[in-house]
Structure 1
Amino acid sequence: MFRLKEDNSVINRYGFNSEGHDTVAGRLSHRIRTWLFKNSVATKSGELVPSGVPRSLVLNKALGVNLGKNKISAAEDNSDYVKGVSSLGQFADYIVVNISSPNTPGLPNVKLMKEVKEARDVHVAHRPPILVKIAPDVNEVELEDIAAVVQEAEMDGVIISNTTISRPSYLKSDPTLVSQIGGLSGPPVFPLAVEKIPIIGCGGVSSAEEAIAYAKAGASLVQLYTSLGYYGPGVVYDVKKGLVDYLKKEKTTWKELVGSDHQK
């Protein structure tokens, strides 16, 4: 990982390092068992958690499972995603099919989406929504193809965007850092992502201003990551407080804000 401090950005080439489905499933299962024990909560037969309790175990919070593909898997092989849904879907409030990593490039296809949905419907009783995560580097033709696939497969939503392999000319950091191979995240991703009108906006969010712009562009939710490394967990509070202040000042709601740029 390389910090581009002058741009408050990061380039990483971590890949999808993981101990695998079984280990992660064990940790998530242990987390739920511990919560049930500490809170003296009983479940009905076949229930993982009581009805009405999110998998995050915190009301009004969501736990997402982000599924990536092994780099050595064949391009046409969808089994990594299918196995991930079957193994980990039961622990998720929502599932992300991540086809946007620079390490495992590709575009969604109807076959993949339908196989993932079938795995969820067969193996995951509470049927969490499935979102597709795409990169900001797709061109207009590819974006149209993605939209067609998402619509035909009746997916629940789209997350845009992951890191970018592009290097905007306005980056101010040391060229030896900028030229590193990997995915760029942080503020430089924001203009690439916001114009795509996502459902969940992700890329370059570090203040309420970016979250508001994502909402106006059509995002119902926003995610942040790189800004946590620069500003710490408190950035979440700052973003939320800024949003509340803005909504009060404008006498509007988040729901009314979403997509407002396209209603003018």
Structure 2
Amino acid sequence: MIGALFSLARPALHSLDAETAHQLTIRSLALMPAAPASKDDARLAIDVFGRHFPNPVGLAAGFDKQCEVPDQLLSLGFGFVELGGVVPKPQQGNPRPRVFRLTRDEAVINRFGLNSEGVEAARERLARRFGRPGVVGVNIGANKDSNDRISDYVTCIRALSGLVDFLTINVSSPNTPGLRDLQGEAFLDDLLARCIDARNQTDEGRRKTTILLKIAPDISLETLDAIVATALRRGVDGLTVSNTTVARPETLREKALAAETGGLSGKPLFVPSTRILAETFLRVERKIPLVGVGGVDSAEAAWAKIRAGASLVQLYSAMVYKGPGLIGDIKRGLVQKLDQEKTSLAQAVGRDASAIALGRF
């Protein structure tokens, strides 16, 4: 039903500029009842970060930036949703237009610049839904004009910890000047130390909020070595791999739009993000779980992420082109994979990481 409705609505939505269409989608979701999703096949369930996920298919950050419709999104069949990015103080982000559909490439370029109503607005909305079922997290960042970006992350953790299941430290958005510099070893060490300390203090005496670190695909293996070592040393609960890319593959067909600045997501991100995922898996040595993001647009793509090392996967850009029916398609396809290969999700995680790291998918 949802897929059929999207097929009817897509021409109208795509006749609008991308941001207006997205805003209309959020408003439409807000009018939906937050009914429980249909029960998933038990073989899709997986326990990660000490939490139970009914299925491994999640919504990536950037869709529900203002934390407005998490329960409606869960109703679509996601196993978990990540909201945000949220920053401490309200900020407008970059001027419009700031998001572009590369239709022939099934890709998106965005340079939103973490437009956010601020952490207090997010906190109020999340407090109202506290106690409802479903795994929900928030992606957190720093204000563009901040003089102390590490303090910005700490502020968000103190405000949101305990209200959600996980918080993702985003140091890899390409659209906030200097943000990716926080992936440098010295900055990252201080950042993670202070964030973990803030989480521990805020959650003292109760179940700890999971802390994830989201990294960029545009890093060297030497930089990845340092990031993984720092994350493990500081006790991060998991890594999300990866954010959007600033690279522009020569294979892109929408040449004019490809010249727009911002982060590229969607189908062209699949190969580089999956290879860096596999490289990350080989380095963490199963000490912490990974979330695989980038170019997930089918069951085959999700299965490749899992084989590369992801315990959970996320998607967003593919829904622009394929609609919410994609969620069910991926879940059904994953069950078929499990049947065909007579395996479980847990057994499949990372089994082909060495080959995928070398480009053999």
User: Could you say whether these structures have the same fold, taking a TM-score greater than 0.5 normalized by the shorter chain as the test?
Assistant: yes
Residues 181-233 of structure 1: CA deviation (Å, up to 9, x unaligned): 01000011111111122511000001011111111111111000101111111
- Equivalent residue number for residue 145 of structure 2: 72
1:153 aligns with 2:234: yes
1:82 aligns with 2:180: no
Structure 1 residue corresponding to 2:265, chosen from 185, 188, 198: 185
- Equivalent residue number for residue 241 of structure 1: 332
- Equivalent residue number for residue 110 of structure 1: 189
SS of 2:343's equivalent in the other structure is: coil
- Equivalent residue number for residue 141 of structure 1: 222
Structure 2 residue corresponding to 1:63, chosen from 136, 147, 154: 136
Question: Normalising by the residue count of structure 2, what TM-score does the alignment of the two structures yield?
Answer: 0.63
The residue correspondences of 1:182-261 to structure 2 (distance < 5 A) are 182-196=262-276, 197=278, 199-261=290-352
Residues 155-181 of structure 1: CA deviation (Å, up to 9, x unaligned): 1110011110000111111x2100000
Write the letter of the residue equivalent to 1:14: F
Structure 2 distance, partners of 1:121, 1:26, is 22
- Equivalent residue number for residue 115 of structure 2: 17
Structure 2 distance, partners of 1:250, 1:114, is 42
Q: CA deviation at 1:262?
A: 4.3
Q: Aligned pairs, how many? A: 237
Structure 1 residues 132, 69: CA separation in 2 closer, same or farther (over 3 Å shift)? same
Please list every run of 5 or more consecutive structure 1 residues that lacks an aligned counterpart in the other structure. 33-48, 50-56
Q: CA RMSD in A?
A: 1.5
Q: CA deviation at 1:263?
A: 7.7
Please list every run of 5 or more consecutive structure 2 residues that lacks an aligned counterpart in the other structure. 1-98, 281-289, 356-361
Question: Normalising by the residue count of structure 1, what TM-score does the alignment of the two structures yield?
Answer: 0.86
SS of 1:131's equivalent in the other structure is: strand
Structure 1 distance, partners of 2:344, 2:118, is 41
1:95 aligns with 2:167: yes
- 1:162–1:202 CA contact under 8 A, matched in 2: yes
SS of 2:157's equivalent in the other structure is: helix
- 1:164–1:184 CA contact under 8 A, matched in 2: yes
SS of 2:156's equivalent in the other structure is: helix
Residues 34-67 of structure 1: CA deviation (Å, up to 9, x unaligned): xxxxxxxxxxxxxxx4xxxxxxx22xx4101110
SS of 1:63's equivalent in the other structure is: strand
